[in-house]
Structure 1
């Protein structure tokens, strides 16, 4: 494993599509459960939350140096240590660094600029985590 490496992250088109399908099915289920006015309020709330999440990824870079792994978020580098519960599959990496559910990072192959970058990242994680 080299002494340092970093990867620039971008929004995953596949994840956006999956989020949209989930949102659509959630709204269809709510049609049967809520009165129309409440359904409109719930639909508006879910659409606003989804649109906020689709703007830009919060974490812009992921990398490691000789000391540890780090995430760059909002211009700051945050040192992280991967916890048990992180998932490493061929089509998705879910990296947890804290107890809180919003402190995890989901990376799909199209979140990086190339398939080679994704392969290098999974190789670095497997070498570090095993």
Structure 2
């Protein structure tokens, strides 16, 4: 593991597109299943939920040093250990850092500043998680 490495994370444009496609397909399914009034309520609820999820991300930075992995979560620096169930693929990294399902980190190549940063992150993760 390198002595120190740090990555600044940003929201993924591809993930937002996938979220929008899921929302649209869910709304189409609900339009067939629900009366118009309930469909409108569900549509507003799903849109608010999606906008709430698109606010400032909870995790802004990720890094590792001689003590191990850490991430900046809501402004606090937390030491983390990647749990079993983490997914490492060419187009997405899903890193489980807690028991709770909402405490996972999904990183796509466009979540980092450059392709080289993503390659460097995957190289460090593969060496650490083997």
Give the TM-score normalised by structure 2: 0.97
Q: Distance in 1 between matches of 2:101 and 2:38?
A: 28
Match of 2:52 in 1: 52
2:80 counterpart residue number: 80
- How many angstroms apart in 2 are the aligned matches of 1:85 and 1:73? 20
Q: Judge conservation of contact 2:88–2:94 (CA < 8 Å) in 1.
A: yes
Q: Is the Cα–Cα contact under 8 Å of residues 86 and 94 in structure 2 kept in the other structure?
A: yes
- Which has the larger displacement, 71-80 or 21-30? 71-80
1:92 deviation in Å?
A: 0.2
Secondary structure at the residue paired with 1:26? helix
* 2:117 alignment partner in structure 1: 117
Asked if 1 retains the 8 angstrom alpha-carbon contact of 2:91 and 2:109, the reply is yes
**1:1-42 Cα deviation digits (max 9, x unpaired):** 321111000000000000000000000000111111111111
Aligned to 1:91: 91
Cα distance per residue 1:17-69 (max 9 Å; x no partner): 00000000000000111111111111001000101111221100000111111
- With structure 1 as the length reference, what TM-score do the two structures score? 0.97
Q: Distance in 1 between matches of 2:57 and 2:95?
A: 15
Which stretches in structure 2 are left out of the alignment for 5+ residues? Answer: none
Q: Give the length in aligned residue pairs.
A: 130
Segments of 4+ moved more than 4 angstroms:
none
